[in-house]
Amino acid sequence: MTHFLLGILGGIALSLFFSFGPAFFSQIQASIHYGFRNAVPFAFGVSTSDVFIVAILLLISRNIPMDEMILMLNNRWIIYVGAIVVASFGLYTMFLKTRHAAESSENDKISFHNVMMPSRLNVYLRGLSLNFLNPVIWLYWATLVTILICGENDSTLGQRYLFFGGVLSATLSMDILKCKLASLLQRMITFRFLKIFNKCVGVILIGFAVFMVVSTMPRFENNSNQKSIEMMQEIMNTKPPKLHRTAE
């Protein structure tokens, strides 16, 4: 169980310091817009995609060196597809209409009772697709898988799954907590403010997409590939401390 507990600690740290991507801003927007219960499916969608990504990478790592996998994920066409997905969500968010009851005005505070809610399945699929189709997320998890494998060359596949099970459990719990905290703001803002907020989140998502495309331009791509190679060499040459094993 040591691997699982260390994974929980790692997941909390990662969620606090490295989770400010497109999914984070969309999740906060959904929590403020729809409230806690209707935004939690978004967090589960993100978590489901993370589980699939980690499982796929762990299986691939048995046959393909992870440094090659990271370089493959840096392919410009993969980045373009991810940028289109993120930009599409940005446009959707930017032009998302705040539908409320006819008796409510734009200056009224938001209430759970006068906002038109989407289906929870729709919210879940939004979180799953936005995260799963983002190549940056794949690079993020591929790097973590590489670090674990290099530090634990003799660890079993089951022990790796335990570690990442802890990481994923912690990140899901932290995402649910973020949904709860963000939803508390709903009772303090007006529909007019929410319209402006939606546009701001949309601009942020489109900004992420533009950055992804710009990073694939020849001048930046060469630097990016070189940094990826240097990063992998550093990871390969510097092994993290081994995890202490206990009877599972």
| pLDDT score, position 51 | 92
| pLDDT score, position 177 | 92
Contact 179, 19 (CB under 8 A): no
What is the Cα–Cα distance from 238 to 240, expressed in whole angstroms?
6
| pLDDT score, position 34 | 80
| pLDDT score, position 128 | 93
Phi then psi for residue 5, to 5 deg, are: -65, -40
Tell me the per-residue pLDDT of 195-246, one tens digit each, with 9 for 90 and over. Answer: 888 888 889 889 988 888 887 766 555 555 455 545 544 544 544 444 444 4
| pLDDT score, position 144 | 80
Contacts of 15 (CB under 8 A, 6+ apart): 170, 171, 174, 175
| pLDDT score, position 229 | 47
Place of tokens 């729809």: 34
Regions of the chain short of the pLDDT cut 70:
1, 65-67, 97-117, 149-155, 157, 217-248
Query: 60-78 burial by CB neighbour count: b if 16+ within 10 A, else e?
Result: ebeeeebbebbeebbebeb
